Structure 1
Amino acid sequence: MKQFLQLIIFSLSFIMIAQVGFSQGVTTAAINGRVVDANKEPLPGATVVAVHVPTGTKYGAITNVEGYYYFPTVRVGGPYKITSSFVGYSEKIKEGISLALGEKLAVDFVMQDESQTLEEVTITADVDETMNSGRTGATTEVSESTIEKNPSISRSISDFARLTPQAAQGVGNGGTSISGRNSRYNNVTIDGAVNNDAFGLNADGQPGSNAGTEPISLDAIKEVSIQVAPYDVTQGSFTGGGINAVTRSGSNEFEGSVYYYTRNENLTGKTIEDNPQKQPPFFNKQYGFRVGGPLVKNKLFFFTSVEKQREETPFTVNLVDQNTLDRYGDNVPSNVSNISVETAQSVKDYLLENYDYDAGSYGAFTPKTENTKLFGRLDWNINNKNQLTLRHNYVKSSQDNISRSQNELQFTNNGYVADFLSNSTILELTSRFSENISNNLILGYSSVENIRNIEDQTADKLFPQVEIDLFDGTTILAGTQRSSVGNELYQDIWQLTDNLTIFKNKHVITVGTHNELFKIKNSFVNRYNGHYEYDGIDNFLNNSTDGRNGRFRTAYSLDYFNDRFQPVELSFLQTGFYIQDEWEVSPNVKLTGGLRLDIPFFLDDPSYNQQFDNDFGLDTRDLPSGQLLWSPRVGFNYDVKGDKTLQLRGGAGIFTGRIPFVWVSNQYTNSGASFGLISVSGRDGNSVPLAPDGNRTLEYYYANQLGVDVNDPAVENAIQELISSDAGASEINVMDPDYKLPQIFRMNLAMDVKLPYGVIGTVEGIFSKGINETKYENINLTDPDEVLPAEGNRPVQSSRLQNPEFGNVLLITNTNQGYQYSISGVLKKTWMDKLSSFIAYTYGVSKDVNSGTHTTALSGWEYNPTPGYSNVSNLSYSQWDLRHRVVGNLNYTQNWSNFTSTSIGLYYNGQSGAPFTYMVNGDLNGDGAYGNDQAYIPASQNEIILQPGDDDNRTPDQIWNELNAFIEGHDYLRENRGKIAERNGARTPWYNRFDLRVMQEFKVMVKDKKNRIQLTMDIENVGNLLNKDWGRAYSVSYGTYNLLQFRGIDEATGRGIYRYSDREDPWNVDNLASVWRMQLGLRYIFGN
């Protein structure tokens, strides 16, 4: 029945294409208006013609009985020349009009009787994007000029999305957070086609970022629009924000550009330390060209862009010997590792001598990145009623993926090479069927490949991953990276976009359907090669299996002897239908109301686990298909005085998004019918010594258990029995049968006002409330059976699993807990063509129960901080919580003569530091997770038992004095003594950053045309160039800081027993982000 219903819905979606439309992203703009006489009476039958001057594209309309006209889908940009004519009246022309992406611009005409004026009237339009009747929710438009004049070292769309007051970067785990939401919940489109990392592997939500590339060359982008609260129901698939970009196109003039950008260690500030040093050698080079023009004048145009990037960036954190570390004491510089050379060398020597395995280098290493971006576009004005666009985007990138921080050392052979390949083709047809009916159709296909290549990083054999957790909070990683063996992802994405628009009297009615089909093939077996964990370097060197030492986990295929990886194949279809009415109630009141219906379908079932169904009553095949997700929305715009000096706008509605498909793919991989997991530790009395071969960790495990040689037939028999016994003690991922895709209710209210001296001010409030948010539960956990009064009454459990036949059983389900709100104030002003500026302040709060920063259900549960029982929802501050932000932008151009000018673009961002949580390293609550216990902040020494670690000569009193000083030295800890630390309750210090672009332009005459030569200097964090203490960026790895290391509970007092390693601050200074970086550019522009 389910398959039959899916077929019916899928068929209906495509049948409706001939009649109705769909739109996810925005590719065009719109012009509407009214033609009246001097007495403000409508003039029905007047002719209005808009001409896109660069291409000669014409749009014509006849006003209706109310005097209204409408051009629903016109080219972005300009300039436009709009002419109104009517018998007996002088022709009126408005020119110099440019349209932003997604803008709906009102252009009205007041006609004069010919007896009063005999000549045509030409007006240079002065259009303001803020005081506009088409504006309801919070929106930021980024024009071609803004892109050209503002600093962007990375040449990324995200560098312009940050101009949105409600957006933030540097919170969560990367990307651009909009309105306090996870960056993965944004929807990014280019030319109307989805351009997200739909699978969700990349923290910033952008495809290719894990391979060091942008999804498209910035030189191919014309404009960008950031939608925070659009009440247009044609925009969907997000609960964060919509980021829409449209690409450049050719025109009637041949024009293009050749460019080269470079930066290196000589254009970068010195390291952040007491004795600053020059940065180690590195380089980043970007070069390419773009060109466009007519193939047939006024008819057929082409545009193409080619770009290459090469980068080599060495590690900024390096190791020193133990004597040097000892001299630093608690003030280790940010570019120096807390792990000594001697410790790292001992690990390397041990593996080489005992296992004949070379772990690679722990010293200086320079990861490399190389990518290529190709873009091509054709635009065809078929006739005055039909325009066709075809474009293709190709991106290929490769990047060494090895990272180190002050507290984590990754040997080079624990890395991998991230290979990325993307091809995307879009076909768009815009048609005008009559004066009142128009249509916009988009068809798209994209293929994306993400492959983790370990061949270039691993030595001559696969080896288990070794993780050594040292007592000072540092970690050493060696062996083959556990998540990268056989890790390959292939995605095919089909899209269909079409909007049918009907213009009738004062109404613009849109009817549509939205369809996306994803086909995904993913090979991923976490810990296939085995994962061994040790507490302390001595325990590793002794191959200890006591306690947590030698904790061993390995995943295995239930078809182990035939197919060890069993790639997951899943298909997802999202269909949607909507209807909307934009009603011009009066000349100064506009209402927009619409209803959207989204219906998700998972077209492939995971494997069925009969034993699990019997024990838990859940079917591993169940996925949330066929649910009706309704999204009603309404927006308004009220020109209070009727003269565009005071405007009220706002709206309310429901927004439906998607979850990263990687969260769903876990259910296919971890149904217990395809893969199993062995997880043991010394606490179980069942651990094993380190295996010498990552391809045979399962064999070595059973050889150890049976006390036989690894090649003994008994080992194979034991494995055969294991894989034949169904689930074993495997990890199971399952979805709540009633789970729904993310939905939020969002509303905003804003006032825009023209202030004296040409300043425009805006005050805007936005509120979002979760309807269907996502959370994880481990439904195989036992309930807590005791509390620790000395730990803030923290609940703990003495036994872990309800059903020992299974391991962790992760359920993805919904919660309605969580909300976000923000209040923003904006001031902006433009002085002719010379100077434009804005400054904005935003206060924003975001709370959730899970911030969604991980890619698997297990990590989403076991690393989600909890004050006690990890299955109880803990509403607290989100990792995406903004709090305070000030953002400003200034652009100034000075024309020295007809042939030379200087432009300055300045960007400022000041915001509250990133939120983080004070944690305990260890399993304090007994749930088996070693990274989710929030720390109790002792009010006095009597509330905690402190013990020294190995080779630690401090007494408990000395340790307390250091811990007490640390608590007193940090506001959050000092103010919350006697409590369990809140999730994301603490913050890193305030962050200030200025970015600067200086562009010197020279014009030269070539064949009667002024070509341009541009010399650019982009300086990121320019404040640090003026003062070495300015512009510091602080971070806490993964948003958690281990304040204490848990060693046990004192049965007599119920107090926790802990170790404490002293340091100055819980955060690190990001060496590269905290210093100024300069990029020099040379560009030659011809033809315009």
Structure 2
Amino acid sequence: ASISRDPKDIARLDPFVTLDPSNEDALSFAGTNTRQNQFTVDGIRQNDEFGLNGNGYPTQRSPISIDAIQALNVSVAPFSVINNGFVGGSINAVTKSGTNTFSGSAFYEKSDDSLLGDRYWGYGPRGNGFRARQDYNRVFDEKTWGATLGGPIIRDTLFFFASYEKFESQFSLNEGPVDAGFANPIPRITTSAVETFRQGAKTRYGYETGSFVNVAPPVQDEKYLAKIDWNINANHRLAVTFQETTGTSFNGSTTSAFINGGSTTQPRLALESSQYVKDERLTTWNAQLNSQWTDAFSTELRVGYKETETTQLPVGGLTVGQVTVNVSDLAGVQAGSGTPQIQFGADNFRHDNYLYSEVKNAELIGRYSWGSHDFMAGARIETRDFTNVFVSQSLGQWTFNSYADFLAGNASGLIIRGAVNPTGGTVPARFGTARDGAVEFGYDVNSLYAEDTWQISDTLRLNYGLRYDWFAMDDRPVLNTNFRTRNGFDNTANLDGRDLLMPRLGFNWTPSDWSISGGVGRFSAIGTNVQIGNPFGNDGARITNAVCTGAIRGVTDLSVVPTGANCTFTPGNGSVVALDPNFEIPSAWKYNLTVARDFRLPLIEDFRLQADVIRTDFENALYYRDLLATRSGSAPDGRPVYTHPTGPVVFDLLLDNLKDGGSSTSVALTGQKTWRDGVFEGLDVRSTYTYTESEDGNPMTSSQPDSSYVRFASADHNNPVLATSDYEIRHKFTVNANYTRAFFGDNETSINVFAQRRSGLPFSYVYHSSRTGNYDNDFGNAVPQSYSGALGTSNQLFYVPQTDGNGVVTATSDPRITYASGFNLTDFNAFLNNTGLIKYAGSIAPRNAFRTGAVTTVDLRLSQEIPVPVLPTGKLKLYMDIENFGNLLNEKWGVLEQYPFYRGVGTVVLNCQTAGVASSCAAPNAVYQYSSLQSAGAAGTPLGGEAKRPNAQLPASTWQIKFGARISF
């Protein structure tokens, strides 16, 4: 079943592949980073080149129609030297070609909310309570249609193939004012309050905020592909492929932390002007010339071009930035807990957001056969160029403490970032300078490689080779002399001159019914290009933070910087991201062994048993460290405490290498049986069990450097230690069964079942928050971003107090810890035991030492062929796809429960004290004070000693059905 028509639904049949439905079906090979894979179409890389999309594509859906694919090759360790550009795994799609016979197809598919499950068994949206029946109301209507056609232009000489596919979806939002009938009502904020607020903004500022959003604009995706194959003569063949994919989607900013995260302190409604439309376009050209010059010598010439463009435009335009207003005093806001907020204007990350990339490549491969040797040598050059417009807060980020202040124009805060002349002086700050700060950079990746495939005997083949990659880069970030003064080196390092040697060795031995293969080799990937581009967009010289010294009073226009605020830009006053001058290209050593046996005995004929082992060692993995963080001492549990200088510069982040970047080990056992006759004729069953252990230092989960630096659980973000990877799925068991048989003439009836049971993803226990506004300032970690709801937790790992002789935490069992008045130690002990934290008593609980529950899902496809009288060779196939079929049978089945990014679960509120008075955590004799246990229920109740619950991932936790019809000839 493939409701999304995504090649990843085929790739998941590989025992080492896992998809994450909570993150746009992000794909991980053997527990490795989802952003470190490669997806190619006819040799052209179609990854998300910059690294912003969770699905790994440069488009909102798959960049290619699945009907245009002839073959899909999935490999975690292809040892030929021709392969590189990934440390996870590789997927290569080969497109169809025309032949001497005309052939084609057309299809139509449909799904809507009547074909989607509307309930599941799980926890409530705020992580409290027991599991119970939960309602899920998602109103949508989606359809997909397309066609293919291929055939001869000149018989035996010139052929064509073309493919088209279009997806359309209309959906309604499920969050809104408490009295508007939404499935997830936002507490306290009513429709009348929204209208009063809207009119107030129009009267005071002349700005149309828009109302709350009910129905979103249509989501669209179109795919075009055209291919020409030319047999020039008997020895030369040329193939040219053109491909274009465009997509438009409506996206919402944070609507309510109350609904999304479990926070009871901040119900939030974002109005229409906060939403944005994202347009994406992918265009590729690819030409391949295969030439057979002699019986022994052949060449292959490949030339490719890829262009991507992404625009994110706020519905309210680019005049007013993000405005957040506390509205407890707004007429129509209901009484209750928390601080309700209304937000409008372009959200912080859409203050002019544009991305363009252009990738050109050329590759020449020569092959020469000599006796039992097949030699191959090649050269490749790939040129990558990028333009990125992204300066968050360049239109301003406003906050108002009350609605009365909002009507009076009295802001409590204004944050501005902008672009200035790096060699100029201080100037008045202004909005809308993002285009002046546009980043343009590019570089070349050059490759030389050679390989020998030696057929030692009829059963033994050995291939060995060497690949050499080196980078050429003329562009450098703008020099920031203040950074040089602070740190003693320049921020202008780039990729130029950095290189890597990659030896490869592989073998294949096929004695009798056995097949034994394996290899060892080094692979490389520099990471995502957004990480390479961050030093250009965060030089701190021309992109700087405003300093405002005046009061923000009496504002009447949110599109200009108020004069009385005295806000100025000074070159060099911005935070900096830099590449380490000694940066090395990240790489991975892969080791693989595969042993397979085909059985042809009477009772187990056509049965194959296979064992695979894949080991990956990561070398020079990426991570960020903050050069402004100076260690001032140690906290009570021994973790470091850092200090930062005051001023507009929040951080100096260095993109650096972890020499030991961790490792991944996976073992897979696969059994496959095919029945060719008898009652089970047409049945094929493949079953796999995969065990994976994976660890990393920094999971590098974000495209933003400050988020990647701090947004993972650690006791020392500047010096991360290896721990269980965020991407590890420890156990996975899959069964893929396909039964195809013609019961009515030659019209096939087919049933396909894909069942999977897998472990949950790992998570960490961290402090819920600290007394300071930025959650980890007690330990000296600058957290410039604002997180709320379930994300409103610290990034610091939780210290588990020592126990007494009876294994119980008491008020005096650990001299490092005191407890606030009224803190319930009975619930706290239950909490530690129920979560498993008690095993780490007297130490810091490790990162990702815990994981959510396993999940079992079953996907089903039923299809039936019907003859088409007007097309003698044609067939009409009617089919139905059911995803999460188990949930259709029982609402308790197939529910995927995970904690939201970054999967840190809060425990207690932390304060540091000395002699009962608040102090630095590094102060002599400082102790921790624990308060406010973050349990799933009230103190003294059965849930008072349970942790907050994971959220069901929707719609992945409910069933969905899609109907389709396809005609082919």
TM-score normalised over the length of structure 2: 0.84
**Is 2:665–2:693's contact at 8 Å kept on the other side of the alignment?**
yes
CA distance in 1, matches of 2:208, 2:444: 46
> 1:171–1:881: 8 Å Cα contact kept in structure 2?
no
Q: 1:517-532 maps to which residues of 2 (within 5 A)?
A: 517-531=383-397
1:392, CA displacement in angstroms?
A: 0.6
Aligned to 1:565: 435
Matches within 5 A, 1:530-929: 530-531=396-397, 553-559=415-421, 563-566=433-436, 567-639=438-510, 642-643=511-512, 645-678=513-546, 695-696=559-560, 699-700=561-562, 703-704=564-565, 715=566, 719=568, 722-723=569-570, 726-728=571-573, 730-755=574-599, 756-788=604-636, 792-797=637-642, 799-801=643-645, 806-817=649-660, 818-832=662-676, 834-867=682-715, 869-920=716-767, 921=769, 922-923=775-776, 924-929=778-783
Distance 1:746 1:319, change over 3 A: farther
Structure 1 position 1060, deviation (Å): 4.1
For 2:356, give the aligned amino acid: Y
Q: Secondary structure at the match of 2:9?
A: helix
**2:536 aligns to what SS in structure 1?**
helix
Deviation at 1:738, TM superposition (A): 1.6
CA contact (8 A) 1:407 1:474 kept: no
Structure showing greater radius of gyration is 1
How big is each residue's C-alpha offset from its partner over 1:985-1010, in whole Å with a ceiling of 9 and x where there is no partner?
22221111111110111123446x32
In the alignment, structure 1 residue 161 sits paired with structure 2 residue 11: yes
307-316 or 190-199: which moved more? 307-316
The alignment status of 1:383 with 2:269, answered yes or no, reads no
1:154/1:691 Cα in 2 relative to 1: closer, same or farther (>3 Å)? farther
- 1:997 aligned onto 2:861: yes
Shift of 1:1052: 2.3
- Deviations, residues 505-553 of structure 1 (Å, cap 9, x unaligned): 111111011221111111110111233579xxxx566869xxxx95653
Pairwise mapping of residues 86-105 of structure 1 onto structure 2 (< 5 A)? none
> Which among 300, 311, 316 is matched to residue 451 of structure 1?
311
Matches within 5 A, 1:295-306: 295-306=153-164
User: How much does 1:1056 deviate?
Assistant: 3.0
Distance 1:235 1:849, change over 3 A: same
How far apart, CA to CA, are the structure 1 residues paired with 2:73 and 2:301? Answer: 20
Query: Relative to 1, partners in 2 of residues 1:346 and 1:938: Cα closer, same or farther, differing over 3 Å?
Result: farther
Residue 702 of structure 2: SS of its match in structure 1? coil
Any idea what the Cα deviations from partners look like across 1:606-646, whole Å, max 9, x if unmatched? 2112232233222222112112201001011122xx32x11
User: Cα deviations across residues 463-493 of structure 1 (Å, max 9, x unaligned)?
Assistant: 3243989998999864421011111011111
2:98–2:150: 8 Å Cα contact kept in structure 1? Answer: yes
Letter in 2 for 1:928: A
Alpha-carbon displacement from aligned partner over 1:921-978 (angstroms, at most 9, x marks no partner): 322412222752223345636366666xxxxxxx8345x55555544443x4354454
Q: Equivalent residue for 1:232?
A: 80
Question: 2:555 and 2:909 mapped to 1: Cα distance?
Answer: 28
The answer on 1:216 being equivalent to 2:30 is: no
User: Corresponding residue for 1:257?
Assistant: 105
Structure 2 Cα separation of the partners of residues 845 and 690 of structure 1: 59
Residue 1080 (str. 1) matches residue 963 (str. 2): yes
Which SS does the other structure have where 1:859 is aligned?
helix
| Counterpart in the other structure of 2:894 | 1031
Opposite residue 556 of structure 1, the aligned amino acid is: G
- After superposition, give the CA deviation of every residue in 1:873-898 in whole Å (9 maximum; x if it has no partner): 22111111121111221111021132
Whether contact under 8 Å (2:609, 2:670) holds in the other structure is: yes
Q: For residue 452 of structure 1, report the CA deviation from its aligned partner.
A: 0.4
Taking the aligned partners of 2:196 and 2:846, their CA distance within structure 1 comes to 42
Aligned to 1:20: none
Secondary structure of residue in 1 paired with 2:748 = strand
Kept after mapping to 1: 8 A contact 2:650/2:782: no
Q: What's the secondary structure of 1:407's corresponding residue?
A: helix
For structure 2, the residue ranges without an aligned partner over 5 or more in a row are 122-131, 262-267, 328-335, 422-428, 770-774, 785-793, 803-808, 917-926, 938-947
Shift of residue 760 of structure 1? 0.9
1:270 alignment partner, one of 107, 118, 124: 118
How many angstroms does 1:693 deviate by? 5.3
Q: 1:857 to 1:938 in 2, by over 3 A?
A: same
Report Cα offsets for 1:766-801 as digits up to 9, x if no partner: 11111121010000111132322xxx333323x323
Do structure 1's residue 1056 and structure 2's residue 929 form an aligned pair? Answer: yes
Match of 2:822 in 1: 956
Do the aligned partners of 1:471 and 1:1061 also contact (CA within 8 Å) in 2?
no
For the 8 Å contact 1:285–1:311, the answer to whether it is kept is: yes
Cα 1:787–1:276 change in 2 (3 A) is closer
Partners of 1:672 and 1:447 lie apart in 2 by 29
Whether the 8 Å contact between 1:172 and 1:182 is mirrored in structure 2 is no
Q: Is the CA contact (8 Å cut-off) linking 1:463 and 1:693 kept in structure 2?
A: no
Q: CA deviation at 1:673?
A: 1.9
Deviation of the 1:503 alpha carbon: 0.9
Closer, same or farther in 2 for the Cα pair 1:655/1:518, shift >3 Å?
A: same
Determine if contact 2:608/2:672 at 8 Å carries over to the other structure.
yes
Report the alpha carbon displacement of residue 350 of structure 1 after superposing the two structures with TM. 5.7
Does residue 986 (structure 1) correspond to residue 850 (structure 2)? The answer is: yes
* Aligned-partner SS, 1:829: strand
Change in Cα spacing, 1:519 to 1:222, as seen in structure 2 (3 Å) is same
The secondary structure found in structure 1 opposite 2:151 is: strand
Partner in structure 1 of residue 875 of structure 2:
1012
Amino acid at match of 2:733: V
Greater Cα shift, 568-577 or 402-411: 402-411
Q: Report sequence identity in percent.
A: 27
How far 1:899 moved relative to its partner? 3.9
Task: Give the alignment partner of residue 374 of structure 2, picking from 478, 503, 508.
Answer: 508
Distance 2:370 2:413 in 1: 70
**After alignment, is 508-517 or 910-919 more displaced?**
910-919
Structure 1 residue 155, shift from structure 2 partner = 0.2
Segment drifting more, 433-442 vs 926-935: 926-935
Residue of structure 1 equivalent to 2:151: 293
Task: Provide the C-alpha distance between the structure 1 equivalents of 2:657 and 2:337, rounded to a whole number of angstroms.
Answer: 38
Tell me how far apart the structure 1 counterparts of residues 397 and 209 of structure 2 sit (CA, whole Å): 15
Distance 1:652 1:280 in 2: 48
Q: Give the distance between the partners of 1:650 and 1:989, measured in 2 at CA.
A: 34
Aligned equivalents of 2:412 and 2:795: distance in 1? Answer: 21
1:488 is matched with which residue? 354
Measure the CA separation in 2 of the matches of 1:686 and 1:877: 48
Partner amino acid for 1:927? Answer: N
Question: Kindly tell me: are residues 844 and 344 of structure 1, through their superposed partners in 2, closer, same or farther at Cα, counting changes over 3 Å?
Answer: farther
Aligned residues: 869
Distance change (3 Å), C-alpha of 1:511 and 1:946: same
Pair 912,275 (structure 1): closer, same or farther in 2 beyond 3 Å: closer
Checking the alignment, whether the CA contact within 8 Å between 2:319 and 2:395 is kept in structure 1 is: no
User: Does structure 1 retain, via aligned residues, the 8 Å contact 2:103–2:151?
Assistant: yes
Amino acid in the other structure paired with 2:18: A
Hey, what does 1:181 align to over in structure 2? 32
CA distance in 1, matches of 2:223, 2:399: 41
**Maintained 8 Å contact 1:599/1:626:** yes
Range with bigger deviation, 1047-1056 or 659-668: 1047-1056
Partner of residue 425, structure 2: none
Distance (whole Å) between structure 2 residues aligned to residue 651 and residue 311 of structure 1: 46
What SS is found at the alignment partner of 1:413? Answer: helix
Q: Answer whether contact 1:848 1:877 (CA < 8 A) is retained.
A: yes
The answer to whether the 8 Å contact 2:320/2:396 transfers is no
Q: With structure 1 as the length reference, what TM-score do the two structures score? A: 0.75
What SS does the corresponding residue of 1:466 show, helix, strand or coil? strand
Q: 1:250 to 1:345 in 2, by over 3 A?
A: same
Distance 1:552 1:878 in 2: 38
2:942 corresponds in structure 1 to none
Match of 1:429 among 289, 307, 310: 289
